[in-house]
Structure formats: structure tokens, C-alpha cells
Amino acid sequence: MSDRNRAVTIADVAARAGVSQASVSRVLNGKQSVDPAIVQAVQAAITALGYTPSVAARSLVHGRNDTIAMVVPDLENPLFQGILRGLSRAAAADGYRVLVADTAEQVDEEEATALEARHRCDAIVLCAPRMPEERLQRLVARIAPVVVVNRPLPGAQVPIVGVDYARGIRDLVDHLHGLGHRRFAFLSGPELSASNAERLRGVADAVAAEPGITIDVIEGGSRLDDGYEAAEYVDAARREGVTAVIAFNDLVALGLMTRLRELGVEVPGDLSIAGFDDVPMARFATPPLTSMSVPRGEIGAQVWTRLRTLIAGGPIEHTVLYRPRLEARESTSRV
Amino acid sequence: MSDRNRAVTIADVAARAGVSQASVSRVLNGKQSVDPAIVQAVQAAITALGYTPSVAARSLVHGRNDTIAMVVPDLENPLFQGILRGLSRAAAADGYRVLVADTAEQVDEEEATALEARHRCDAIVLCAPRMPEERLQRLVARIAPVVVVNRPLPGAQVPIVGVDYARGIRDLVDHLHGLGHRRFAFLSGPELSASNAERLRGVADAVAAEPGITIDVIEGGSRLDDGYEAAEYVDAARREGVTAVIAFNDLVALGLMTRLRELGVEVPGDLSIAGFDDVPMARFATPPLTSMSVPRGEIGAQVWTRLRTLIAGGPIEHTVLYRPRLEARESTSRV
DNA sequence: CTGTTAGCGCGTTCAT
DNA sequence: ATGAACGCGCTAACAG
């Protein structure tokens, strides 16, 4: 790091300004008060020499980096992308940088990756939707300060920022119920994913709360292809009376709609479809896709707020879950 | 960084193993030859104490970080996301981490951001599609080792990895020409974007090479909305005889198709439409969108290869441009 | 208010 | 083959 050619150090500045390194350091950090004349001389020397403090040396002395790491299973996921973006910008505003640690879906390497990242950075943002609770529990204890994203962790000593998927699903079901739907299908996501489990909880809650409804669960996935490939099963369910489908997310819903169109199933005429996440494309689908909007960027910013508190030695703040907002569009209609 | 509680240092290991710090260091780095007995003792002490070398101290001594930074104008862009992903994985395989520096579209801050990033990292991957050539030229010289992504820089002393947009556009025009189209419209991207300029060059080349064709340029943008909003202009062009539209990228094309459908314009019946980038959604559009595929992940990996060479003191390798591959789908048809 | 001194944790001579 | 000592660049504690 630093410059190619021999770096100019604080000693050079001190020499040129005719003062001690300590004085230079003081001017640099604005600690204590320094004689205006010295400040002048030092600043002159600094600009003359083009001096920049060594990050490494500072890190060694302070035991911190002003860098945090975001550990993520797949950078391709729009949710994580949005969070990373919001996090990166919020942290930057406080002078912190963000390192990305993509574990490439290797659940077994998440711990090692997180530990390694923690060793290089001051704190961790952990996205590990598939890690078993116990392992996560232990890991979190080892890498604190840390904020966990988008998954519950009962009794954990760690701030959690996420989305209230259960609530979102319930709100969505309510919406569809209001449109007259009674028989639903839920196209589920990755089996071990925590957010999928939360959605399923929402499904169960909805069924319990609204006696007149049924919700079939059909295996789906998280990507466009998964929705596309599930279409036949969905169509079969439709023939058996299902009138509305809730997909794990928008990508799945969009893939599903594509295949249904090929199969000649009209949306929403023959079947209402809703997604989750409200990705930009949802508005532009044909028909525009009803979805539950999730504030990705804001989640990232909120994660930073929590982490900053922790870094500053503050308390573990309460879990915060964002309630998804219904974006009712034309893919769902009165039955 | 490092652990919350007082870190265990190399001195602790040395003490417990009953040897000198130097020996521990040797064992750690596998330099020179060490007495097998000592190796044993040291390794035992290391695992017993759970010792991990301090990244900061190493950085200070070596003058490097094993970290590179990717400076990017907007993390929302699918192209940069894909490159980041490929880069991150390739670099990780060599023990390097990637820091993201999102400049949030602030062209004026790109230089400062890049310099700051370079100060913290061993090298830079620079995505600055809108920075004027001269400024980029100077910047590149100051932050080397650096690889520039996705834009030309004539005579620059820097490796460049990118996409041959001009060639891609030409191939696309050829394809459409083969389908019988003669009058085209190009929905252009961000005015100052280098890749847009390259595409325009492709447009000009195509017109020069194929005497019988015309290509109108219509102002567009880079996002779904931009395509949506340009639809009226596109439709007007259609009424004047344009039969095929090439959009700056797939997002624009998809937004355009959505609005055209609302306007009652049939694709490809009334108008053929093609995009660029081949985002996942392209295949799932209605009709499936013809596009030019770009190997995002591979570009990221290639960037790392170039950068690794540079870091190792190697030469500035030649520019490499990927030729987009035509993915002909149903949104374009014989006229 | 300022300079001197002593580490931060590690790699690396230089003797032994 | 091994250990002692120094230095990487900087900040914090202590005198003056």
C-alpha cells in the first residue's frame, strides 16, 4: 500500500518544519493546542512534501482500521447489493470503508471468512441466512462487534436489522383476501434460508388467523429460473382451485409469469400473482407485479448506525425489523 | 480490528514455546530451516493460544495489505456488480481482499476517493466511465498499480479490461441487417459515459460500412425509467419508418418494451428491439429480449489477473476487450 | 506548549 | 540453526 516510491514520513515533515514528530502528530490530529507558528510551519511542510499519514502505522497503534467487512453469501442477490450500497455510503460518511467478503454460497467457509475478515477490520456485518443457529451464535460471540442482517437469532447478544417477512406475508395475504381470494399457493424459497422460514411462519399465521383460507406450499427457489420451472406445478394448483400465488421473491414471480404466459394462463385473469422485494423490474413487468417493498438502502444505513454504536462501545441496540410496504399492481386482481 | 480482549502476540507464543520471537516468525513464514523440535513446540503454542498474526503489524513491516480497492461510480449497475463479484472471488483465491469504494456518482470525488483507497490498499481497480481523459490519465499515474475497467484511455500506461462495445453494436446491427432491417434507432446512454461513446462509435462504423442503412440517435439513459420515458419518441421514429431499435442496455430496452406495450406497439411485429448486456431478465421478458452478452464475472477475473501481475512487479499487460456475444431472441424478427 | 521516550506487533539483519 | 536488537510510522505518556 501507500506510495510506490519511498513514502514521506512524519519524520520528514518534522525535520522540514524544524519541530518534533510529536508536534506534527498533534497538528495532524488536532489534539491539545499548538503554537500557531508551529501549526503554520507544519502545514507548510506537509503540503510541500505531499505527506499522507500511514494507515498501517495508525492501525498498529490504535488497534483499529476504520474499516468494516460485510460477509455475504452471494453478491448477486439484489437485497444484499442494496444493503451493501446503503451501508457503504452511510459508513463512508463517517470515514469508514467497507470490505466485501463473498463466501460464494459456501456455508462451511462462512465462519473462516468471517473470522479472517474480523481480523482485518474493526467490525462485521454478517449475512448468513443458512447458517445453523448454534454455529451462528458462537460465531457472533467471537467476531463482535457485529450486526446480523436479515435473520432472527433468539436470545442473541447482537443487534439485528432485517425485514419482517412474516408480517409482510400476512399483509400480502390480507390484501389478496380483501380481493376475494381464499385459496392460495406459496412458492417457497431456498429450504434452509432463514428468510424463507420467516415467510412460512407468515403463511402459517395467516392460515391460523383467517379460518376460511388455505395456502398450499410449492417448492420454488430464489431465482428467475426457479419460478419459470415451477410454473407447471402452479398451473396444476390453479386447476384445483388456487386463485392467487405468492412467490418467495420478485425474481421467482417474474420467472413464473413468463412461463405461465407461455402456457396460456392469464395473469391476473386466471391467476393472481404477487412477489416480494419490489425490485425495480416489478413495476415494468407485464402486468406490473404486485410486490412487498423492502427499503434495501435504508437497511444498510440502519446497519451502520447499529454498528457504529457498537464500535464506540455503546450498547447492543434492539432488533429492528422493517415492515414491507404493499405495492399493489395489476398482477393481482379481484377474483 | 483484531480481538476485543488483549490480543495474543508473537511474544506470547515465543514465551510459551520457550524460544525467541524470531524462531516463531520463521516457523510462521516457513523461511530458512528450523529445528523440527522447535517447529513442533511453536505450532503447539500457536494452537494452544489461538494466536493469529496481526495484520496491521505485517502491513507496517511489509508495506502491503493484501487488499485491493474497486472504485465504482454506482454499485447499482449490474455490470459493476458482476465484475465486483468475479474480481472478489478471483482475488480471494490468491489471498487478497477487496474493498469497495462507491463514489455515488460524484465524478468530482472520484479522484479523492481513489487516492484515499490507494493509500489503504495495494492496488486499485478503477471504474470511472465519465472522468475526462486527462484527469484520468493523471490519476492513473498517481495510483498505480491500477487496472482501468471498461473505457479506453489512449496511450495510457495502464492495463485496460473491458468490452468491445463498438464491435458489439456492429455485430448487432449486422444481425438486424440480416433480418432485413435498414432503418434503425439507437437509444443512447448517459451522455458522458465512455461506454456510450464506444457504442456510438459502433453506430457510426455500421453506417459507414453498410451504405443502405440509417441509424437515428434518440436520447435515452441507462435505467428502466429512461427506456420507459423514451417510448413516445421511439414510436414517433417508428411511424417515420424505423423498424428496429437498439437500446443502450437491457434495462432501457425492457423499460421501453413495457411502455410500447401500453401504447399498443407490437414487438417484434411492429418494431424489433434489442438490448445490451444480457442481464438475467432478458431471457424472461415478453417477448424474450435479443441482447449482446457480456461476461461480467470473467471480466472481473481478468482484471485480477492483470492486477496481480502488476503487484508482482510485472509488466503492463495489453488491453483486452471482450467481444459481446449475440443472444438472438424473439424481440427481433425479420422485417 | 513542546520535545523526548517508549512502545504497538512483526520481520529481519547480525552475531553467535 | 538460533536469539538479541533494531526499525517500520505513528501516538501516548511523561517531563520540562
pLDDT in tens, B141-175: 999 999 999 999 998 899 999 999 999 999 999 99
Which pLDDT score, from 0 to 100, does residue A196 have?
97
Q: What 3-state DSSP class applies to B99?
A: strand
Is there a domain that residue A201 lies in?
yes
Which whole number is the average pLDDT over B60-84?
A: 92
Considering Cα of B85, then B90, then B94, then B100, what sign does the dihedral take? negative
User: Does B228 lie in the same domain as B200?
Assistant: yes
**DSSP H or E stretch at residue A197:** helix A194-209
Averaged pLDDT, B2-13: 75
* A207: closest CA of chain B, how far (Å): 32
Residue B43 cell numbers, joined: 505450532
Q: How many domains does chain A have?
A: 3
The reply to whether B335 falls in a domain is no
Q: Are residues A158 and A85 in the same domain?
A: yes
The answer to whether the CB atoms of A1 and B122 lie below 8 A apart is: yes
Residues A310-332: b if buried by 16+ CB within 10 A, e if exposed: bbeeeebbeeebbebebbbbebb
Give the mutation candidate from A61, A109, A110, A120 for the B interface (greatest B CB count, under 10 A): A120
Whether B78 and B189 share a structural domain: no
Please calculate the CA angle B165-B171-B173 and round it to the nearest 5 degrees: 105
A180 and A86 in one domain? no
Q: Which nucleotide shows the minimum CA-to-C1' distance to residue B22?
A: D3
The answer to whether position A239 is within a domain reads: yes
Pairing of strands B214-219, B183-188: parallel
CA distance B121 to B123: 6
Count of C-beta atoms within a 10 Å radius of residue A157: 11
User: B-chain residues within 8 Å CB-CB of A99?
Assistant: 67, 97-100
CA angle B177, B182, B183 (to 5 degrees): 130
What is the rounded average pLDDT of the residues B71-90?
92
- Residue numbers of chain A with a pLDDT score lower than 50: 3
Which residue of A64, A89, A285 is in closest CB contact with B102? Answer: A89
In this predicted model, which residue has the larger pLDDT, B31 or A317?
A317
Q: How far is CA B227 from the centre of its chain?
A: 23
B3 or B165, higher pLDDT? B165
CATH code of the domain containing A75: 3.40.50.2300
B330: three-class secondary structure by DSSP: coil
Show which positions of strand C are touched by protein (CB under 7 A). 1-5, 7-13
Rounded CA-CA distance A104/B88 in Å is 10
Asked whether residue A61 is assigned to any structural domain, the reply reads no
B109-143 pLDDT, tens per residue?
A: 999 999 999 999 999 999 999 999 999 999 999 99
Distance A61 CA to D12 C1' (A): 10
Task: Examine residue B1 and state whether it is found in any structural domain, yes or no.
Answer: no
- Return the half-sphere exposure (C-beta side, CA atoms, 13 A cut-off) of residue B282: 28
CA separation, residue A283 to residues A255, B66, B205, B207, B264 (Å): 15, 42, 36, 35, 18
- The structure's pTM equals 0.92
Residue A258 lies in a domain: yes
Q: Note the pLDDT of residue B77.
A: 87
For residue A309, give every residue at least 6 positions away whose Cβ sits within 8 Å of its Cβ, in sequence order, or none.
Answer: A159, A315, A317
What CA–CA distance (Å, rounded) separates A80 from A76? 8
Asked whether residue A4 is assigned to any structural domain, the reply reads no
Could you tell me if B65 and B122 are in contact, meaning their C-beta atoms sit under 8 angstroms apart? yes
Whether residues A262 and A305 share a domain: the answer is no
* B223/B177 same-domain check: yes
Q: Cell numbers 423492502 correspond to what residue? A: A294
CATH code of the domain covering residue A32: 1.10.260.40
Residues B288 and B171 in one domain: yes
* CB of A107 closer than 8 Å to CB of A76: no
Q: Does A63 sit within 8 Å of B2, measured CB to CB?
A: yes
Q: B286 and A286: CB-CB below 8 Å?
A: yes
Q: Is it the case that residue B38 has pLDDT exceeding 70?
A: yes
Q: Which of B65, B84, B255 sits opposite A75 (nearest CB)?
A: B84
Q: Are residues B233 and B315 both part of a single domain? A: no
Q: What is the mean pLDDT of residues B249-273?
A: 97
Check CB contact under 8 Å for B98 and A98.
no
Residues B100/A98, Cβ–Cβ less than 8 Å: yes
What per-residue confidence (pLDDT) applies to B155? 87
pLDDT value of residue A151: 94
Domain, as residue range, for B37: 10-53
Higher pLDDT, residue B141 or B2: B141
**pLDDT at residue B2 tops 60:** no
Query: What is the predicted pLDDT for the residue at A328?
Result: 98
Is the alpha carbon torsion for B146, B150, B156, B158 positive or negative?
A: positive
CA nearest B104: which of A281, A278, A66, A91? A91
Chain-centre distance of CA B241, in angstroms?
37
In a domain, A89, yes or no: yes
Regarding whether B116 and B82 lie in a shared domain, the answer is yes
